[in-house]
Structures are given as C-alpha cells and as structure tokens.
Amino acid sequence: MKQPVRIAVTGAAGNISYSLLFKIAAGEMLGPDQPVILQLLEVPQAMDKLRGVAMELEDCAFPLVHGISLHDNPFDCFKGVHYAMLVGARPRSKGMERSDLLEANAVIFAEQGKALNDVANRDVKALVVGNPANTNCLILSRNAPDLSPTQFCAMTRLDHNRAQGILANKLGINPGDIEGVCIWGNHSPTMYPDLHHAQILGDEAAIDMVDEQWYKEEYTPRIQKRGAEIIEWRGFSSAASAAQASLDHMRDWALGSDGRIVSMGVISDGSYGVAKGIYYSFPAICDFGGYQIIQNLYINDYGQAMMKKTEAELLEEKAAVEHLLPKETAASHEAQSTSSRTEATYYQADRIC
C-alpha cells in the first residue's frame, strides 16, 4: 500500500467541492491504489456546512480516505499538502466593480500563497479554480517565493473539455476521437478555443471538417460564454463539470497526460510571444510530474489576434492588482525562462501542426 498523500481543497462546502471531494475520495484523481488525507478549508461561517459534507464522506466508507480534517485557517489546512485545489473564492456581489472583485480575491489568494509557501510540502502542486482564476493564480504564486511558479496552475481544463465535447457533438463522433483541441489565454470570454491543431482519429484535421463561419461565429462564442449558458438553463453555475475538469487537470499533471495535449493556465515563459509573468493558458503535455508548453505550433493571423486580445485582458488584470503583488524573485525569473523545454522528445510537434 502506498503512503497517503495530503490534498487540500478550499471552498470545500461549496457546489464544485460537493462533487469533487467524492471523486477524489473514490480514487478517480490519483488512482485506486493511492490513499489520501483530505484537508478541507472553509470560511468560519461555512464550517457547519463543511462538517455535514465531512459526515457524508465518512458515510461513504471510502477505503482510500485515511483522514479528513476541517479548517478555517489556510496555515493549518495546508500543512504538508502535496496537492492544493483552490476552489473557494469571493463571488461578485451586487454593485461590485471588476477591480473590487480582483482586489477582494487578491486578499484571499495572497494569504493562501503565504500559507502554501510556509507549510505545504516543497513539491506541492496547486491548482486555482476560483475566479478570476488566472490572476488569482498569479497572486498566489507571487506570495509563495520559496516555491517555483511552475508549481501553480489556473484551470482552463473545463474550457478545454467543453471545446472537445461540443465539437464531438457537432461532428457526431466520440469526444475521445478528438485530439489536439486547445485553449489559449484567460479563463474568461476572451479565451481563444483553437481547433487548428486538432485531429480526428489521428488523421483528419478538425478545422477542415467544420464551416469557418460556424467555427468563428457560433462555436467560439459558445465556448467563451458556456458558463453563462449553463447558468441560464440550470439556474446555477457549472459544478459537476468543473469538478471533473479540476480532477482531470490534477490527474494529468500528477500522473502524465499520456501524450495527449491538455490546456493549462501556466506561467508564461514568453512562448508564442506571450508576455512573461502572467498565467496564460497554453497547450501542454504532462509527464514526469511536470508540464511542457508545446512549441512551434503554426498560428494564423486570426489566431494571433485572438491570442493578443486575451493576453491584453490578463495584462489589464495584472495591472489592477500590481500594487498588491510582492516583488518577483530569482526563482520566478528562472521559471519564466525554463517552464517550457523545447528539447521534449516524447512529443512530436509535427504530429498536429
């Protein structure tokens, strides 16, 4: 039996966690032979609700769960954690400007970054789900100067999965037959869902199988605004699909993506001309517990304009919280120049160009 690993989940009494925690406990994230200790964080007002969730976890009698602890303080919650799923965030309330939302979350993620820096396992992998995810991730990482910025990611896997699922439905094929879909940029309506590198069953270019007008005028805005579409129909924001995506992201990051391309919001090292130092979603391959940004994909003029637009939004968000960001460290400079290693041998770029 393997040693248990410690997994922190924040916002653990919320909607996404209500699905995510049970999947982790069932072994869907790290495998059926990996015991886990769940360290759950909530705000003080939600501790009773969290206790109820913990009771339900207990009632499932999951053999892989070797412990559950409940916290209202990140410095206690993050002690020794190997994985941190940061789901909890401050939602936008009435009358709140975008800059207020960024600042309110900056406070939360600055504290959580300091806590990870001080008490987490030195190899911790932290995934930010709570919105605005990319900029929250930047704040988190900058407040954890002893950890590498490559240990932090913002979640764009839900957008990636949506892009794959909706394309599969359009073409009448299985989502598993599609490879190479990717999301560039921010987890927001400026993101760029890119089909130009996607293939069907390894030999047909997906972009050739769809009408250009449909791709640009229906598909792209639909992926960009899918969250709002779900709210319109369901009355609540995406929860089960977000839980599944966060689990997919962490599983692939930890165990490898088996040669498949995934979308991850990672620290930009300047690849594709994207400004360094922001968390931008790139196509990546995961292996050996790390990720590599895929290099040398051909980006047409349309794609370049889309990528610039979402980059500009991230730079604006960064500017709005700049006064709250600690100075960059030598480690973060190094990560910005080394997070994508072009010598990757296990990925052949020409397969999908």
Binding residues vs ligand NAX (CB under 6 A)? 10-11, 13-17, 41-43, 46, 87-91, 108, 129-131, 133, 155, 158, 187, 227, 237-239, 242
Q: Report in angstroms how near the CB of residue 17 gets to ligand NAX at its nearest.
A: 6
Q: Report in angstroms how near the CB of residue 188 gets to ligand NAX at its nearest.
A: 10
Q: Are 175 and 206 in contact (CB under 8 A)?
A: no
Q: Report in angstroms how near the CB of residue 320 gets to ligand NAX at its nearest.
A: 17
Minimum CB distance to ligand NAX smaller for 45 or for 213: 45
Minimum CB distance to ligand NAX smaller for 282 or for 352: 282
**Is 196 annotated in the active site?**
no
Conformation bin of residue 59: beta by default, left when phi > 0, alpha when psi is -120 to 50: alpha
Minimum CB distance to ligand NAX smaller for 150 or for 156: 156
Minimum CB distance to ligand NAX smaller for 45 or for 345: 45
Q: How far is CA 87 from CA 17, 82, 150, in A?
A: 7, 16, 19
Measuring CA to CA, which residue among 134, 141, 142, 150 is closest to residue 102? Answer: 134
Minimum CB distance to ligand NAX smaller for 17 or for 257: 17
Q: Report in angstroms how near the CB of residue 8 gets to ligand NAX at its nearest.
A: 10
Question: In the complex, which residue's CB is closest to ligand NAX?
Answer: 14
Q: Which of 71, 82, 160, 187 is catalytic?
A: 187
d(CA 277, CA 155): 17
Q: Report in angstroms how near the CB of residue 214 gets to ligand NAX at its nearest.
A: 24
Minimum CB distance to ligand NAX smaller for 11 or for 149: 11
- Residue keyed to tokens 């010598």: 343
Which tokens hold the place of 241?
Answer: 């699909």
Q: Report in angstroms how near the CB of residue 11 gets to ligand NAX at its nearest.
A: 3
Catalytic residues: 187
